[in-house]
């Protein structure tokens, strides 16, 4: 008997639907159909009138896709609450508080302005389960039918959404914790946190200097934010700030900078939050990382007797791992940090507050806390392959990997991972000796490349 093949989604990836604006399916006609399909699914599964929230980041195409989704949803008989520019995690939170059936975010996250995409949240503020995404895709194959005019949905703009989210963010740390005396530089990536993040920190008492908060529709993530933190480093040093925080375009990623200009990535942020939880005797189970998480995170957590497990790259897999284990903390090196005891999804502002809570309550500095974890040098080289090549089962590659692992010993790792977004194999080597790591990564990449050409 042959094993049943798992059905594949046609449009939904690991994080919604994403691509270049104007190239199918990131087109107005598809978004109209997607809105209608989603409306049919949620109208069908809920009693009475269904309601869906729509938020977006600051890229110029968001206006176009918001209008298309609105038309599709209302034609299916669904009411809409329009939130305007709003961080992705804010839409997740507001979907719960407004008791909506779903939330939609129009965003391509950390991508440049010419890309866009759609993310969905369930009524619980979590990513949609597979069966709902499959149901939406099924409706995408059907012709649009509009409900009778008396049942067409209505659209209402929520003017106080930003203020509601600011108050929620502040509520995730104790009311007696104040940021008075802290000088913070905040980089909003010209994205959806531009009119929210600084207010959170200022209302908690911090002295805030804001950069990357002048969106024009085209400059989102443009040499700024969590994917390009160099300007934040420069501002922290120039203003002699205590630290800096940088978000990506839709506000679900966080990178920090200490007062000496050192970049503090997602692994280090996750470590210092976990360490603080352990110091305060808060039960969070353990920590979920990914196959790309630095070995220093794993060893640092083990030294604190904190369980740690790895999953595939992607916040969807981190969340699945947390739910499976019943743990509360997880994240990725890129800055996706999930604190399920205070949020239902990865949230850059909330995660930054958890780190600031650790700093203030421990009467220490970001530099001191990051120094508690020793990051291992890590080198990654991309080797281009053809779409059908499977080098992971190649004997020569497998033998080369074993040889590199033997040279690294217990204080090193090797990872070969096919990219999910481009035709490359990512060759990653990690170990204590940075020079050796670079050498071994190049040697292994050369062997992989040779097998590609063979």
List the domain boundaries for the chain.
17-159, 183-264, 265-348+355-375, 378-453
Structurally, at CATH architecture level, domain 378-453 sits in 2-Layer Sandwich (3.30)
pLDDT of residue 296: 96
For residue range 96-141, what is the model confidence (pLDDT) as tens digits?
A: 999 999 999 999 999 999 999 999 999 999 999 999 999 999 999 9
For residue range 319-335, what is the model confidence (pLDDT) as tens digits?
A: 999 999 999 999 999 99
Catalytic residues: 109
For residue range 193-218, what is the model confidence (pLDDT) as tens digits?
A: 999 999 999 999 999 999 999 999 99
Residue with more model confidence, 12 or 389: 12
Q: What's the CATH number for 17-159?
A: 3.40.120.10
- Mean pLDDT, residues 431-441: 96
pLDDT of residue 421: 65
Percent of the chain's residues with pLDDT above 90: 89
For the question of whether the overall pTM of this predicted structure is more than 0.85, the answer is yes
- The mean pLDDT of the chain is 94
Domains 265-348+355-375 and 378-453 share a fold: no
Q: What is the side-by-side order of every strand in the sheet holding 155-157? A: 17-20, 115-122, 102-106, 51-56, 79-85, 155-157
The CATH number of domain 265-348+355-375, selected from 3.30.460.80, 3.30.1950.10, 3.40.120.10, 3.40.1350.10: 3.40.120.10
pLDDT of residue 15: 81
- Mean pLDDT, residues 154-165: 97
For residue range 210-259, what is the model confidence (pLDDT) as tens digits?
A: 999 999 999 999 999 999 999 999 999 999 999 999 999 999 999 999 99
Name, in order, each residue with C-beta under 8 angstroms of 205's C-beta and a sequence gap of 6 or more: 178, 179, 180, 181, 182
pLDDT of residue 2: 45
Structurally, at CATH architecture level, domain 183-264 sits in 3-Layer(aba) Sandwich (3.40)
Asked whether residue 45 carries a pLDDT value surpassing 70, the answer given is: no
Mean pLDDT is lowest, of 3-17, 43-57, 67-81, 304-318, for 3-17
Asked whether residue 3 carries a pLDDT value surpassing 90, the answer given is: no
């Amino acid at each position: 008997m042959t094993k049943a093949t798992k059905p594949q989604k046609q449009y939904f990836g690991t994080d919604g639907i994403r691509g270049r604006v104007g190239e199918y399916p990131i087109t107005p006609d598809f978004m109209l159909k997607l809105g209608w399909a989603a409306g049919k699914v949620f109208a069908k599964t809920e009693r009475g009138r269904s309601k869906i929230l729509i938020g977006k980041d600051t890229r110029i195409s968001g206006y176009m896709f918001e209008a298309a989704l609105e038309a599709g949803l209302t034609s299916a008989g669904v009411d809409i609450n329009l939130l305007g520019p709003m961080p992705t995690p804010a839409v997740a939170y507001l979907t719960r508080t407004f008791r909506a059936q779903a939330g939609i975010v129009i965003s391509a996250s950390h991508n440049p302005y010419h890309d866009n995409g759609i993310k969905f949240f369930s009524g619980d503020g979590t990513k949609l389960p597979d069966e709902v995404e499959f149901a939406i895709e099924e409706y995408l194959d059907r012709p649009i039918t509009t409900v009778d005019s008396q049942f067409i949905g209505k659209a209402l703009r929520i003017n106080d959404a930003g203020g509601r989210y600011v108050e929620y963010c502040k509520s995730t740390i104790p009311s007696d914790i104040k940021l008075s005396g802290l000088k913070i530089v905040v980089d909003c990536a010209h994205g959806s946190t531009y009119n929210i993040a600084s207010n959170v920190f200022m209302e908690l008492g911090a002295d805030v200097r804001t950069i990357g908060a002048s969106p024009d529709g085209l400059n989102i993530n443009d040499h700024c934010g969590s994917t390009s933190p160099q300007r934040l480093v420069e501002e922290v040093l120039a203003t002699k700030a205590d630290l800096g925080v940088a978000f990506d375009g839709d506000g679900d990623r966080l990178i920090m900078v200490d007062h000496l200009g050192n970049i503090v990535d997602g692994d280090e942020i996750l470590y210092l939050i976990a360490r603080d939880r352990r110091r305060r005797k808060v039960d969070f189970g353990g920590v979920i990382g990914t196959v790309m998480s630095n070995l220093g995170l794993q060893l640092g957590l083990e030294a604190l007797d904190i369980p740690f497990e790895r999953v595939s790259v992607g916040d969807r897999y981190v969340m699945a791992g947390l739910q499976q284990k019943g743990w509360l903390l997880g994240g990725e090196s890129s800055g996706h940090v999930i604190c399920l005891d205070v949020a239902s999804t990865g949230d850059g502002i909330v995660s930054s507050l958890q780190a600031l809570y650790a700093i203030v309550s421990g009467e220490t500095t970001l530099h001191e806390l990051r120094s508690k974890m020793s990051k291992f040098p890590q080198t990654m080289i991309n080797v281009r392959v053809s779409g059908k090549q499977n080098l992971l089962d190649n004997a020569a590659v497998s033998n080369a990997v074993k040889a590199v692992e033997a040279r690294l010993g217990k204080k090193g790792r090797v990872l070969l991972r096919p990219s999910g977004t481009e035709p490359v194999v990512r060759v990653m080597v990690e170990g204590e000796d940075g020079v050796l790591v670079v050498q071994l990564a190049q040697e292994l990449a050369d062997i992989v490349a040779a097998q590609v050409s063979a």
